[in-house]
Amino acid sequence: MGIENGSIEYFMTKLGEAKTHFERALDCKHTEFDDLYPYMIEHPQFFWYKRYVAWSELLTIVKLCTELTIEWEQQFSVAQVEYIQKRVMSSKVLDFWFETNDSKEHVS
């Protein structure tokens, strides 16, 4: 199945958005999810659920890119690609997602 350049750009944009969403969730920063479920902020499990939702979104976009043979790996560090390929959001993912970046600075 061939895919047009416009479609590739679309998926790369969605992949970038999913990555940013996940990184913002890791940093406990505001995301679209907060607007959808504002009452959940009062509950301690909210941040775990928010991270899970963002991780699932990221994995879904990666799965679609893989099925369409769109190279997605270049938007991530080697360690991040490994985490994504394992598909499990472990404590290692939560603790070390940013560790392989040149800067310790997180998403703004």
pLDDT digits (tens, 9 = 90+) for 31-88: 887 787 777 777 777 778 889 999 999 999 999 999 999 999 999 999 999 999 999 9
pLDDT of residue 29: 86
DSSP type of residue 1: -
Find the mean pLDDT for residues 4-20: 93
Residue 107: band (very low, low, confident or very high) from pLDDT cuts 50, 70, 90: low
Question: E strand or H helix at 10, and its extent?
Answer: helix 5-26
pLDDT of residue 103: 45
Contacts of 16 (CB under 8 A, 6+ apart): 75
Q: Give domain limits for the chain.
A: 1-100
Q: Report how far residue 43's alpha carbon sits from residue 30's, in angstroms, rounded to the nearest whole number.
A: 15
